Amino acid sequence: MLDLRLIREQPDAVERALADKGGAALIREIVARDGERRRLLTEVEELKALRNRASEAIGQAKRRGEDATAEQARMREVGERIATLDGEVKAVDEAIQALLVQVPNVPHPSVPPGKSDEENVEVRRWGTPRAFGFAPKPHEELGEALGLLDLARAVKIAKARFAVLWGPGARLERALAQFMLDLHTREHGYTELWVPHLVNAETMLKTGQLPKFEEQLFKTVEADESRTLYLIPTAEVSLSALHGGEVLPERTLPRRYTAFTPCYRREAGTYGKDMKGIYRQHQFDKVELVKITTPEQSYEELESMVANAEEVLRRLELPYRVVERCTGDVGFSAAKGYDIEVWRPAAGKYTEISSCSNYADFGGRRVDVRYKPERGKAEHCHTLNGSGLAVGRSLIAVLENYQEADGSVTIPRALRPYMDGLARLTRPPTP
């Protein structure tokens, strides 16, 4: 979350910075509540000082044998007033915290202005889209024809926006994930973790999923609400919360973590959008990248994270482009971010396959992870996250870009070692 001191000292600048992103309307309310809190604290401190002085005077009066009953009665009233004010301070603190968790991060000054993804800025492209001698088919047609993708049975056992992958399709999904993990751990310096897929509400709050994205989350139903657990929408949640409440030695930063997990999202508000195939699912696999850094490291680490995700696509020889998200599309917690979009020949356009973001100290403050320099006091870390990559969307890209005129699909060279040398997916024999 944002530093309350920043909002207190520069409310106008924060409001301007959030004009495109949203949340600016909360700033004045926070400032007003903060002013009320400081007024209450001033009164409490004055009354406590009065009580201390009076206690000393009462003690002296008693030692002189004087009657201090009236002053003691007055101090009891002061004590009751202090207790009342302490309760009011606590209530105001809670109100301020409830407002702060709703305020988005302030975009970095370098983020391009804009109100929606239509104003995102293309940074670079890699690869040339293949020229097909036939009309390329969408992945759902290819997958069903090859016996790899079964959406009908997924609907039967669950509902829409789930998928069953058969045989080589399931193996290709697993091969993609393993290839990504090997690349990130062996060449990019990430440590692999296996993390909980169910987390508590506090973890969701600290990682920025609550309250903003409540309607997008799946959760357990418990009679005791405090025991409710949420299915993670991405391993970013578990990885970012890993060091919550800890102080890390500066010499151990940056920390680079990766994890492969299923991810669960309701996709509320997207009915009718990307309904065909497996592009937008309630359950999907992803290899996540998370970094914990000092402020001086974070923006360089963001660029290297994007490069790490790009390398997956380069090894798979899939054309892509990188766009920088504008102020209106940069994301609730992000100070700066990029999308990587892979070429989809059947759609005739680039579509998102990875998002990489720097949350700056917004993330470190929210999850309460700090670092301790050799000299000086502990400060909040910067946190970063990105997809390295979305596995299902990578499978889509492989099917569509590597399809052949006879309906078969060539396996990218980088994946063949993970498929026992299999070079081509072909139609199953007719029974």
Q: Annotated catalytic sites, by residue? A: 265, 280, 352, 355, 393
Contact at 8 Å (CB) between 248 and 371?
A: yes
Single-letter code of the amino acid located at 409: V
Question: What DSSP state is assigned to residue 188?
Answer: S
CA neighbours closer than 13 Å in the CB half-sphere of residue 212 = 19
Helix 69-100 with 25-63: angle, nearest 10 deg: 160
Tokens 């599309």 label which residue? 329
Question: What DSSP state is assigned to residue 426?
Answer: -
Q: What element of type H or E holds 336?
A: strand 336-344
Question: What DSSP state is assigned to residue 229?
Answer: E
Rounded Cα gap, residues 390 and 177, in angstroms: 9
Contact at 8 Å (CB) between 330 and 270?
A: no
Rounded Cα gap, residues 336 and 121, in angstroms: 13
Q: In 88-104, which positions are buried (b, 16+ CB within 10 angstroms) versus exposed (e)?
A: ebeebeeebeebbeebb
Rounded Cα gap, residues 276 and 163, in angstroms: 11
Question: What DSSP state is assigned to residue 125?
Answer: E
